[in-house]
Structure 1
């Protein structure tokens, strides 16, 4: 896609599943040369693209593999976005070759390692900023549950509600049953107001299938989007949440399945080391509509 005479906007789908799916993953817009864009220009492009986030590379140093990156939803700038990071890293790797990159983002320095599979598909592993988490307050929990239409009895008592951070903050709520997670119909405006009040980027709604496998959904009304099909920043925050709760006692790989209930199956691989506050999130990405 091209906006204007010189601005190229790429469209990639990130966290596509291992089993190919034409509708899988989370779409992201990417502008690899955004040096000439101001804040208003980036916001206008993101609104025109209409995805949950568009990434803008404002400074490039291809030789050193270092890039300054900013992220915009259709409504506002976001300090960090995992799926757009993976998509941008893959787009860069396809053009300058796979390797180790560093993204300087508003949330901090994000190392990203890229590599090509045997079939040529490129995958990227981002390393988050240090994660942190705290229990949600009763007022935070009550407001979020009311907007979701959930009750406290819908929650898994073994996975307590927390506000988790992996670059941006997310409210983590664990459903006691898969059916509760599947039946997501919330008050868009009410939840957006709650999230703006508390500074949350998404809600990380999870259901534990096994100790190393979770199903997740991420409402994103503050970005003007009902739901994210794959949320790398929330995956990093969730990894830190599991570590902080003592549920990870040795280096562990956790699989998150997201987007299935909205017809965009996605897979996020989260690597957690109990001795490290940073979390790694890995995913594949592919160009959409034949872009390379």
Structure 2
């Protein structure tokens, strides 16, 4: 747990990386456990100063374990962020012990459970808001592929392009090969322009390894970040998408590997339940010192 004494602001800023058990993996996030004294410009300034894809800002609610949570990228506020949620929940668990939390986000209410494994490692499981998917217009897919420098023939025909939502909007594009997914060199401004028009948070690039195992990558130019290293909100959206299209059983557990091509490997577990449309995403987190 670290603070940032050099910050011009007085808030205690913690740094965690989510979906990893080592500081060298996963996706770093800033965490401010008491943001009650910060206004919007100050929260944005903290996020920009840290430079992580997102920073979570908490204000305690009236009930135990209840918090108002807002998420800022270096460029703007985002409605929901999965990896910062996991990082925040683990940070609270380290201080309060295993517990159930309720996060009130701009996207809606997100329950989070923090549990300890036999070795003491804390694992956070968030339950998304109710998800949905919608068609991606052919011209928008064409523009996304042009910005990515991906030929249309490199897409996996079994996983159709679609926009998926579970707290934030993501365009899902599936690569037919692992090599295609690994080769990511895109037009930052062109993709950002398309994403701003479609109100997308990331583009969720996936490659299917087996029935329930996927490699994923998430360009995030609208947040001022080339790529997100582990994206819990996109994982939740993809889980809903995969279930809705019948790619996986309604009751299943998916494993998503992300960050390997960035040198920051992380693992996201996505749980789908037949009796609940919401999606669970779980993972570990560790403080960056």
User: Normalized against structure 1, the TM-score is what?
Assistant: 0.95
**Residue of structure 2 equivalent to 1:206:** 206
The correspondence of residues 1-292 of structure 1 with structure 2, limited to 5 A, is 1-2=4-5, 3-4=7-8, 6-16=10-20, 20-61=21-62, 64-289=64-289
2:212 touches 2:248 (CA, 8 Å); kept in 1? no
Residues 1:5 and 1:202: Cα distance change in structure 2 (over 3 Å): closer
In 2, Cα distance between equivalents of 1:4 and 1:148: 38
2:270 touches 2:281 (CA, 8 Å); kept in 1? yes
1:110-165 Cα offsets, whole Å, 9 max, x none, are 00000122332211000000110122111110110110001110100000000000
**Shift of residue 97, structure 1, vs aligned partner:** 1.7
1:166-190 Cα offsets, whole Å, 9 max, x none, are 1010000000010000000000111
1:75 touches 1:224 (CA, 8 Å); kept in 2? yes
Instruction: Mark the runs of 5 or more structure 2 residues left unpaired by the alignment.
Output: none
**Shift of residue 60, structure 1, vs aligned partner:** 4.0
1:248 touches 1:274 (CA, 8 Å); kept in 2? no
User: Normalized against structure 2, the TM-score is what?
Assistant: 0.96
**Shift of residue 250, structure 1, vs aligned partner:** 4.0
Residues 1:268 and 1:9: Cα distance change in structure 2 (over 3 Å): same
Q: Secondary structure at the match of 1:170?
A: strand
1:239-280 Cα offsets, whole Å, 9 max, x none, are 000111022334100000000000000000000124422000
Q: Secondary structure at the match of 1:246?
A: coil
Instruction: Mark the runs of 5 or more structure 1 residues left unpaired by the alignment.
Output: none
1:12 touches 1:288 (CA, 8 Å); kept in 2? yes
In 1, Cα distance between equivalents of 2:287 and 2:254: 26
**Shift of residue 88, structure 1, vs aligned partner:** 0.4
In 2, Cα distance between equivalents of 1:249 and 1:106: 30
